[in-house]
Amino acid sequence: MSGRMTFGMVDALERVTARIRFSQDSSVPGMLHAAIVRSTVPHGRLRRVDTSGAWTVPGVVAVVTAADLSRIPNLRPVYGPQIEDQPVLAHERVRYVGDMVALVAAESARAAREAAARVVVEYDPLPAVFDPIEALRPDAPLIHELRPEELHRGHAVYFGLRPIFGTNCCHHFRLYTGDVERGFAEADLVLEETFHVPAAQHVAMEPHAALAYWDDGRLVVISGTQTPFNTRQILAQLFGLAPEQVRVIVPPMGGSFGCKVFPRIEPQVAVLSYLTDRPVKLVLDRYEEFVTLTRHATIVTIRLGLTRDGRITAKRVLAYWNTGAYADCGPDVARKGGFGSVGPYRIPHVAVDSYCVYTNLPPAGAFRGYAVTEVVWASERMMDIAADALGLDPLEFRLRNVLHDGEQFATGETLHDVHFQECLEAVARALDWAQGSRERSSEGRLRAKGLAVVMKGMTTPSRSEARVGVDRTGQVTVYSSTVELGQGARTVLAQLAAEPLGLPPTAVHLIDPDTDRTPFDNRTTSSRSTYMMGNAIRQAAEQLAARLRELAAERLEVAPDDLELKPGAVCVRGVPERCVSWSELVTATGYEELQEHAIFRNEGGLDPETGHGIASSHWHQGAAGAEVEVDPETGQVRVLRLHAAVYAGRVVNQLMAALQNEGSMIMGLGSALFEELVYDAGQSLTTNLSDYLIPSFLDLPTTLSHDLLECPGAEVHGLGETALPPVPAAIGNAVARAIGARLTALPLTPERVLRALRAAQEEAP
Amino acid sequence: MGQLVRLIVNGEYHDVLVSCDETLLETLRDRLGLTSVRETCSIGICGACTVLVDGRPVSSCLLLTSLADDVPVTTLEGLTAPEGTLHPVQEAFLAQQAFQCSYCTPGMILSVVALLAENPNPSPEEAATYLAGNLCRCGSYLRILAAVQDAAQRMHQAATGKPTR
């Protein structure tokens, strides 16, 4: 196996010379620029939208409110991937600060923004709710009126949607196994704690950018999106078109981390383009990024039943996901976080209720780690609290309960290729775990270590398709809808196509996602692409190699088995001069290009009532460990060492894998220490990098390292996220140990750490 | 209403009529089509729009174009020689694969060019401090620090003909 490939990105030269074109760099002749008028109140009735001021700005071509949408025949002005609850433009009512009220198109971006600022909107404020638990109370204002008879299921909901009608809960996920009450009765000790994770921002360096134009009744959208086919489907439904009448082209992105999953601004540019009959481009500014999509603020309560010898008898979880004003993929986040909250442990009695709840805050959706960062914080902090209560070493306590190959998860599925123990042990080794836990440095700082383990599902069921072709010049081309967002998809997929054909990856031409040219793929999310799309591409490339061999066998009059593939030619084994070029073989068929198509699927799904079934066709597994130093005077946390161990199955590209792990850990470090979106009565107080910090060079731990665990013959496991979710919990466990306090809320700001430390000192005898 | 400004960008002269509140970022990106100059925060924190003004790294989102009159401005496009030869810092970024999405790369490379002009042999700590105003959300920091060391060596070797360290 070529498992140690370490070459760099196939498009590296484009990147260091900035010749790479992101979606924000797209342009077409005659295009207009758009800007959005956004709500300034968290919940209100729209009394009046006065657009007259906007028209006074030179260069303004269109000012569009919800009323103007009726000029588009067949438009269904509401959309959403899982629940169709989001209007193209707010009509009658706004639901959060940042909600889209009107659109402007102008000859320049400057004019569009200027004009948008001159639109005057008057509101009648409505009672608003911001906390998911308050939003579930019977007297809470209803943000959407979902009804069973007209539940607008989005096309991207692949599981049983269970809203609690008449409340703000848009999905209730349940997972019940055994009998928790019996489990607690059997326990020697029952512990309960509530944990909080704040909303967070992706801060992709490149903002959302989309360009739309209409071409003879067809809609063309160029957009940085992780979901080309979902976006095509949603746009088609919006305009009453067949999906084939919509074309979505996806240039590489300057980062995404989940914020470009499902349509964000594509419907709006498409509407503006229709109404102006001109191409329209929109690039969001940073304030808009902060109100466009967030990570769910989450409240998780865990009750754990334990025996004195350190076994878990029962686990009860209540999780509340603050999904903001529109559901987006929140129902799936509540679902994945629901089964994720159980953790990789042997627990006979489990009951999970996970609620996705509307509030008057910006919508929350996909975020790298997808629900698992939140539940790992709760579940793995709880494991340390339990270990302390039992007087057990946290590593030892985990190892007593962790799942092994062939054991059943709470969903009833039998797990295979299980490596949680190895991941934990690798982290313990890297941190010299056995050597003392809590110490005081010469400057009076408190030092300790902590660790955490992660079990993360991959979207199941799903499908990836790929085509690999060779043309009359012998050029090999891969047609794939996996998007490039900085993870190195172009490189890894070119590599997987090149291997069966005996080519260097740089010899393979890759077509970027374009729904007119590249075949169907579920989406580039869930760390699924290297495995799912990789398998489709490898299979298509193998089929192509076999076909070339068959054609050459006829031509050279030998058995296919006696032939071998060389770059650009097929030769008789051991007779290097008896060859026929791919170019000749393709030309002889009369086709311009010989193509092979392959489909790769994973199967499964959960029963919506019990949560039983196959949650994930295979599992992303990892662990992280941290050594921290806390200044007891200031509460400042310094991470000295951070290590992650991730199960890769088989590493496809060592370099890309390392970058994914390092990037995930650094993102986790930000979540652990400072990333937090703050709102006051629905108004965002964190609207740019001045108020919302992300890790810089100066935040790097003294040592940042990782292990990639492999197994001969194992399946490739995606690596895009696994090292992130255990990092905040590992750091939190280390800080809690260092200061001897119960920490339950992220991030671990100096203020929060200091308060916990003071509280612990007051409690101490 | 506008002001005529003579810009010297990557050695070429451009006379542009700009409004008094137009930023250098807008002029370079939107008028001159230099897409290496990239906007992220627009408030001078992230470093993505860094250009060299008279050799010094500047957030082009904060500099009014009218204040860049007749001063040499270098963007990433200006680092590569016309025949395509890369600058040693670009070579080092390539060799160390010091990027993921590479959106921050132009600003990062220009800041490293400025760093090495001030301090040809920086320690990793000095480099980290100097580059703290350039953010990389993908978290390629370790490789960027490796690229700084690599670039320092390449530039030392080019200047002296001898490898360093």
pLDDT tens-digit readout, A523-555: 999 999 999 999 999 999 999 999 999 999 999
Q: Cβ atoms within 10 A of the Cβ of A555, count?
A: 14
CB of A527 within 8 A of CB of A46? no
Predicted confidence (pLDDT) per residue in A697-724, tens digit: 999 999 999 999 999 999 999 999 999 9
User: Which structural domain, as residue segments, surrounds residue B142?
Assistant: 88-160
CB of A626 within 8 A of CB of A638? no
Taking the CA atoms of chain B, what radius of gyration do you get in angstroms? 16
Predicted confidence (pLDDT) per residue in B105-125, tens digit: 999 999 999 999 999 999 999
B27, B59, B90, B103: which to substitute to probe chain A, counting the most A Cβ within 10 Å?
B103
Alpha-carbon distance of A47 to A261, in angstroms, equals: 33
pLDDT for the residue A9: 95
CA A108 from chain centre, in angstroms, equals: 33
pLDDT for the residue A764: 77
Residue B165 included in any domain: no
**Both B97 and B35 in a single domain?**
no
Alpha-carbon distance of A628 to A533, in angstroms, equals: 39
Residues paired with residue A190 on neighbouring β-strands, in sequence order? A305
Binned at pLDDT 50, 70 and 90, residue A155 comes out as: confident
Interchain CB contact of A204 with B (< 8 Å): yes
Predicted confidence (pLDDT) per residue in B13-37, tens digit: 999 999 999 999 999 999 999 999 9
**Both B95 and B156 in a single domain?**
yes
Provide the angle, in degrees to the nearest 10, between the axes of the packed helices A726-739 and A372-390: 30
**Both B102 and B48 in a single domain?**
no
Q: Which two tokens stand for residue A150?
A: 């007209």
Pick the closest to residue A483 from A661, A211, A253, A254 (CA basis): A253
User: Taking chain A, what is the end-to-end CA distance rounded to the nearest angstrom?
Assistant: 61
Taking CA atoms, what residue in B is nearest to A286? Answer: B41
Residue B65 included in any domain: yes
Q: Give the domain CATH number at B10.
A: 3.10.20.30
Residues paired with residue B13 on neighbouring β-strands, in sequence order? B8
Residue B33 included in any domain: yes
Residue found by looking up tokens 């959208």 in the block: A221
Interchain CB contact of A7 with B (< 8 Å): no
Over range A596-616, report the average pLDDT: 97
pLDDT > 80? residue A150:
no
Give the CA count within 13 Å in the CB-facing half-sphere of B31. Answer: 18
A18, A205, A255 ranked by CB distance to B36: nearest: A18
Contacts of B104 in chain A (CB under 8 A): 205
A205, A688, A704: which to substitute to probe chain B, counting the most B Cβ within 10 Å?
A205
Element (H, E) at A135: helix A132-135
**Both B74 and B99 in a single domain?**
no
Structural domain ending residue among the three candidates B24, B45, B78: B78
**Both B7 and B29 in a single domain?**
yes
Contacts of B137 in chain A (CB under 8 A): 202-205, 255, 257, 667, 694
Range of weakest confidence among A289-303, A357-371, A431-445, A696-710: A431-445
Residue B83 included in any domain: no
Task: Verify whether the Cβ–Cβ distance B46 to A487 is below 8 Å.
Answer: no
Contacts of B136 in chain A (CB under 8 A): 205
CA distance A363 to chain B (A): 21
A5, A7, A17: which to substitute to probe chain B, counting the most B Cβ within 10 Å?
A17
pLDDT > 70? residue B4:
yes
Domain count, chain B: 2
A485, A655, A697 ranked by CB distance to B132: nearest: A697
**Both B36 and B73 in a single domain?**
yes
CA distance A656 to chain B (A): 9
Q: Which two tokens stand for residue A551?
A: 């054609």
CA distance B20 to chain A (A): 13
Contacts of B128 in chain A (CB under 8 A): 697-698, 700
Virtual torsion, Cα A381, A386, A388, A392, nearest 10 deg: -120
Q: Cβ atoms within 10 A of the Cβ of A500, count?
A: 19
Residue B109 included in any domain: yes
Taking CA atoms, what residue in A is nearest to B80? Answer: A17
Contacts of A659 in chain B (CB under 8 A): 97, 100, 138, 140, 143
Residue B110 included in any domain: yes
Task: Output the 3-class SS for A4-34.
Answer: CCCCCCCCHHHHHCCCCCCHHHCCCCCCEEE
**Both B25 and B61 in a single domain?**
yes
The pTM (predicted TM-score) of the whole model is 0.97
Contacts of A12 in chain B (CB under 8 A): 94, 97, 99
Taking CA atoms, what residue in A is nearest to B134? Answer: A696
Contacts of B145 in chain A (CB under 8 A): 697
pLDDT for the residue A493: 96
pLDDT for the residue A580: 97
pLDDT for the residue A765: 67
Residue B105 included in any domain: yes
Task: Verify whether the Cβ–Cβ distance B137 to A25 is below 8 Å.
Answer: no
Interchain CB contact of A667 with B (< 8 Å): yes
User: If DSSP codes are grouped into helix, strand and coil, which group holds residue A578?
Assistant: strand
Domains, chain A, with CATH or none: 32-126+204-256+259-292 (3.90.1170.50), 297-459+607-763 (3.30.365.10), 462-602 (3.30.365.10)
**Both B105 and B59 in a single domain?**
no
Predicted confidence (pLDDT) per residue in A81-100, tens digit: 999 999 999 999 999 999 99
pLDDT for the residue A437: 66
Binned at pLDDT 50, 70 and 90, residue A149 comes out as: confident
Which ipTM did the prediction report?
Answer: 0.98
Q: Give every CB contact of residue A600 below 8 A, 6+ residues apart in sequence.
A: A463, A464, A465, A466, A532, A533, A535, A536, A539
The secondary structure of residue A141, as a DSSP letter, is P
> How many Cβ contacts (< 8 angstroms) between chains A and B?
139
pLDDT > 70? residue A2:
no
Task: Verify whether the Cβ–Cβ distance B43 to A690 is below 8 Å.
Answer: yes
Over range A635-644, report the average pLDDT: 98
Task: Verify whether the Cβ–Cβ distance B35 to A488 is below 8 Å.
Answer: no
Q: Give the domain CATH number at B123.
A: 1.10.150.120
Residue B31 included in any domain: yes
pLDDT > 70? residue A44:
yes
Please, which residues 592-631 of chain A have a Cβ atom closer than 8 Å to chain B?
A: none
Please give the single-letter amino acid code of residue A228. P
CB of A397 within 8 A of CB of A382? no
Structural domain ending residue among the three candidates B50, B78, B106: B78
Task: Verify whether the Cβ–Cβ distance B76 to A22 is below 8 Å.
Answer: no
Binned at pLDDT 50, 70 and 90, residue B130 comes out as: very high
Contacts of A8 in chain B (CB under 8 A): 94, 97
A697, A699, A724: which to substitute to probe chain B, counting the most B Cβ within 10 Å?
A697
Task: Verify whether the Cβ–Cβ distance A700 to B137 is below 8 Å.
Answer: no
Task: Verify whether the Cβ–Cβ distance A663 to B100 is below 8 Å.
Answer: yes
Element (H, E) at B113: helix B105-118
Q: Would you say the C-alpha torsion B41, B43, B46, B50 has a positive or negative sign?
A: positive
Binned at pLDDT 50, 70 and 90, residue A441 comes out as: confident
pLDDT for the residue B162: 83
Interchain CB contact of A697 with B (< 8 Å): yes
A253, A255, A696 ranked by CB distance to B132: nearest: A696
**Both B73 and B97 in a single domain?**
no
**Both B53 and B17 in a single domain?**
yes
Interchain CB contact of A70 with B (< 8 Å): no
Alpha-carbon distance of A508 to A644, in angstroms, equals: 33
Over range A647-669, report the average pLDDT: 97
CB of A381 within 8 A of CB of A743? yes
Residue found by looking up tokens 């075949």 in the block: A519
Alpha-carbon distance of A746 to A299, in angstroms, equals: 11
Over range A150-172, report the average pLDDT: 91
Give the whole-number percent of chain A exceeding pLDDT 70. 99
pLDDT > 90? residue A4:
no
CA distance B21 to chain A (A): 11
Residue found by looking up tokens 């919508």 in the block: A363
pLDDT for the residue A643: 98
In angstroms, the Cα distances linking B155 to A250, B56, B82, B90, B159 are 38, 18, 19, 11, 6
**Both B22 and B72 in a single domain?**
yes
Interchain CB contact of A207 with B (< 8 Å): yes
Taking CA atoms, what residue in A is nearest to B36? Answer: A18
**Both B61 and B99 in a single domain?**
no
Alpha-carbon distance of A112 to A110, in angstroms, equals: 5
Structural domain ending residue among the three candidates B25, B51, B78: B78
Contacts of A110 in chain B (CB under 8 A): 26
Predicted confidence (pLDDT) per residue in A253-271, tens digit: 999 999 999 999 999 999 9
A13, A21, A486 ranked by CB distance to B94: nearest: A13
CA distance B109 to chain A (A): 8
